[in-house]
Amino acid sequence: MSVNPEKNQSDFIQFALEAKVLSFGEFKTKAGRLSPYFFNAGLFNDGAQLGKLGEFYAQALLGSNIDFDMLFGPAYKGITLAASTAIALARSGRNTPFAYNRKEAKDHGEGGTLIGAPVRGRVVIIDDVISAGTSVRESVDLIVRAGAKPCAVLIALDRMEKSGDALKVGQYSAVQSVGQEFGLPVIAIANLEGLMHYLQQSHDQQLQTFLPAVQDYRNRYGI
């Protein structure tokens, strides 16, 4: 299956804008920085949007040429992301098992913290973004304890932003830190560089007005 990552990225940014998942303005991040853009994957909140979102994830994964056996979605956002990606992969001819976790172990029914297909083989962890990397670390631990091998992390957006806060700027981004800590490739449908290119190429004059602020933010905090 032929995949064009650049087109997939551009189409995804357009989709996120239309769904108002991606917006521009002035937003305070958890780190206390004033960001000129905001991405909230939780706003992909109806069936049509979730179905299309899964297709973007599936395209990015197939385009990466990563060898994988199954998908894992960390609670909570990762659950719907892994499920929609598995559906999109099946529709493209690659039926792929998926599993996810619950936050608290059950001592009845199926029990434990893992739900879905048996966790085995090469596992792709699917989430929306990587901020502190906590859900990735927890997922890696669950997957390894199940006897399987994490092989990649798949996210919607890589902010390409160094860790730290408004005053202290770290050396690496959260994505880079996760990659270094676990030796895992991190695949992103879109990243900050692609977002800037989209703004530069846009015929929407209002969108273009946000480019200087995004460029300044990248100069200050970007990798």
pLDDT values of the chain reduced to their tens digit, one per residue, 223 residues: 578 989 999 999 999 999 999 999 999 998 899 999 999 999 999 999 999 999 999 999 999 999 999 999 999 999 999 999 999 999 999 999 999 998 776 555 455 689 999 999 999 999 999 987 889 999 999 999 999 999 999 999 999 999 998 899 999 999 999 999 999 999 999 999 999 999 999 999 999 999 999 999 999 999 9
Phi and psi at residue 44, to the nearest 5°: -80, 85
Domain boundaries, the chain: 5-221
Q: How far apart are CA 186 and CA 184, in angstroms?
A: 6
In the structure encoding, which two tokens stand for residue 146, read together? 């199940």
pLDDT digits (tens, 9 = 90+) for 140-196: 999 999 999 999 999 999 999 999 988 999 999 999 999 999 999 999 999 999 999
Helix axes 174-182, 134-145, angle to 10 degrees: 20
Task: Give me the CATH code for the 5-221 domain, please.
Answer: 3.40.50.2020
Return the active site residues.
106, 108
Residues 6+ apart with CB under 8 A from 99: 70, 71, 72, 73, 82, 114, 115, 116, 117, 118, 119
Give the bridge partners for 222, in sequence order.
161
Q: How far apart are CA 210 and CA 150, in angstroms?
A: 38
